[in-house]
Amino acid sequence: MEYSFSTIIEPFRIHSVEPLRMTTALERRQAVQESGFNLFNLHAQDVLIDLLTDSGTGAMSRDQWAAIQHGDESYAGSPSWFRFEAAVKELFPFKHVIPTHQGRAAEKILFSVLGGVGRVVPNNTHFDTTRANVEASGAQAVDLVIAEGREASTWHPFKGNMDVIELEKLLAARRGEVPVVFLTITNNSGGGQPVSLENIRAVSEICHRYDVPFFLDSCRFAENAWFIHEREPGQGDREIADIVREIASLADGMTMSAKKDPFGNIGGWLALNDDDLAESCRTVLILTEGFPTYGGLAGRDLEAIAQGLKEAVQPDYLRYRIRSTAYLGDALDSAGVPVVKPIGGHAVYLDAGALLEHIPALEYPGQALAVALYTSGGIRSCEIGSVMFGRQPDGTEKPAAMELVRLAIPRRTYTQSHIDYVIEVVKAVALNASSLRGYRMIREPRSLRHFTAEFEPLE
Ligand code: F0G
């Protein structure tokens, strides 16, 4: 008798553990008050389950720790660099690979060369650092995700897709003013939603017809490729690495945060085909990051990423990864907690706007929910709503498209019982949602305000 079992298990066992520190509700209320009601200001030691981000917080594998021992710290031409470059090109065969200390450094370099006043950069949805780097150059950042991507509960298999009709209109209307078109895979700010291969092909075709370079913001490329494998007709028999290579072949370049799918604690890169653009970018790299064969990273980090890239495209890992995120989302959905659907790859997004209808957008319902999850159960999440996106480049404040709270799942880090606990806490807070109150921002930095703003609860 051959059995077949449906439980999808963690495809690893635990080899080294880190203790978690239990706190009381009283301690947490004090901690959050001292942090100005901004969870970024907490001491991580006061957090029980940290779902602030999936960035740099994954567990490295035995083989990554072993690779770290091979780190060669030569200033130039280290063997670690050549292993890193080969691992990147194995999946993303761009001519030039420019290593950076993290994703936003790659963005800063690229937009300082391509951006500038009068230019406009379209993306399905800019991540906050991407938008900030485009705007810091003087250029305008425009989000052109499909309509379904702006609605929390509409089901669509590829909610991260770009609206290609709007893209073409923009390229026609602003000829010569668009230095690059971006696609973010998966679309983080829009709910961790994937982009279909068909859409990537269509965007590539339009860009090349208008002679505009097409770049990928590819932090979660492996999760995106898994969704293509699972959801797109004709893709189910392909190797994940093969899908990734096809995606790369459609683009002219990419920015990358290696802190996500590649399992780095730090790292990133910019890769591209154009020789002149690469030379300009390398010049900025040497000024701001480091020599082109390490670019702001230690040799050991290059090694960890090279190994991590191989693990990121393993189907057993991706099946577990995507299923375990859906496990959290489906449980909350069945309990009636409003979540963005379908469940994304790296995170579950709670719809705070729907759950806390009594709190106006500019009293920050997402912030209220995030603070309540922390004080109630020690869970740290991240507001993705009007706190993050409300301040406009012209200085006015306006509500974001959605008021979300992101529960980002670090890779290979928490077990199913940790997630069962998270489900219990979210359900309890949701049940008492009507008792939550909004917040007023009492200190606001000029840019990327969500990181350091301070708040006061409203009566
Ligand atoms: N692009 C996307 C889509 C991202 O999600 C991030 C980071 C970056 C670029 C910037 O990369 O952090 O290495 O400089 N996202 C993290 C997050 C911070 O929590 O979603 P970075």
CB of 129 shorter than 6 A to ligand 1: yes
Q: Looking at the chain, how many residues does it have?
A: 459
Average pLDDT for 161-170: 98
Q: How confident is the model at residue 394 (pLDDT cuts 50, 70, 90)?
A: confident
Q: How confident is the model at residue 32 (pLDDT cuts 50, 70, 90)?
A: very high
- Average pLDDT of the chain, as a whole number: 96
CB of 128 shorter than 6 A to ligand 1: no
Lowest mean pLDDT among 2-16, 53-67, 205-219: 2-16
CB of 324 shorter than 6 A to ligand 1: no
Average pLDDT for 246-275: 98
**pLDDT tens column, 183-234:** 999 998 878 999 999 999 999 999 999 999 999 999 999 999 999 999 999 9
Q: Is 124:160 a contact under the CB 8 Å cutoff? A: yes
From residue 334, how far is each of 15, 192, 282, 337, 338 by CA, in Å?
34, 20, 50, 7, 9
Best residue among 50, 257, 263, 325 to mutate for probing ligand 1, ranked by most atoms within 8 Å of CB: 257
Q: In 208-324, where do the E strands start and end?
A: 214-217, 253-257, 268-272
Q: CA–CA separation, 20 vs 45, rounded Å? A: 8
Residues 389, 159, 151, 397, Cα dihedral to 10°? 10
Average pLDDT for 372-376: 98
Full set of structural domains in the chain with CATH: 25-54+314-457 (3.90.1150.10), 62-312 (3.40.640.10)
pLDDT at 56 over 90: yes
CB of 257 shorter than 6 A to ligand 1: yes
Minimum CA distance residue for ligand 1 atom 9: 103
CB of 100 shorter than 6 A to ligand 1: no
How much is the pTM? 0.95
* Alpha carbon of 396 to ligand 1 centroid (Å): 25
pLDDT score at 154: 87
Average pLDDT for 41-57: 97
* Alpha carbon of 25 to ligand 1 centroid (Å): 31
Name the DSSP letter for residue 44: G
pLDDT score at 448: 82
CB of 300 shorter than 6 A to ligand 1: no
Average pLDDT for 23-27: 96
Q: Which residues contact 1 (CB under 8 A, 6 or more apart)?
A: none
pLDDT at 414 over 80: yes
Minimum CA distance residue for ligand 1 atom 11: 103
* Alpha carbon of 411 to ligand 1 centroid (Å): 15
Average pLDDT for 141-156: 92
From 246, 249, 244, select the one nearest 262 (Cα to Cα): 244
Pairing type for strands 140-143 and 120-123 reads parallel
From 137, 196, 192, select the one nearest 384 (Cα to Cα): 192
CB of 55 shorter than 6 A to ligand 1: yes
* Alpha carbon of 220 to ligand 1 centroid (Å): 10
Average pLDDT for 303-312: 98
pLDDT score at 46: 97
Instruction: Take residue 41 and report the two structure tokens written for it.
Output: 């200001």
pLDDT at 352 over 80: yes
CB of 127 shorter than 6 A to ligand 1: yes
Ligand 1 nearest atom to the CA of residue 187, by list position: 3
CB of 219 shorter than 6 A to ligand 1: yes
Q: How confident is the model at residue 151 (pLDDT cuts 50, 70, 90)?
A: confident
Burial of 176 (0-12, 13-18, 19+ CB in 10 A): exposed
pLDDT score at 1: 87
- Residue 254's DSSP bridge partners are 216, 271
* Alpha carbon of 401 to ligand 1 centroid (Å): 20
pLDDT score at 202: 98
**How many Å separate Cα 448 from the centre of its chain?**
16
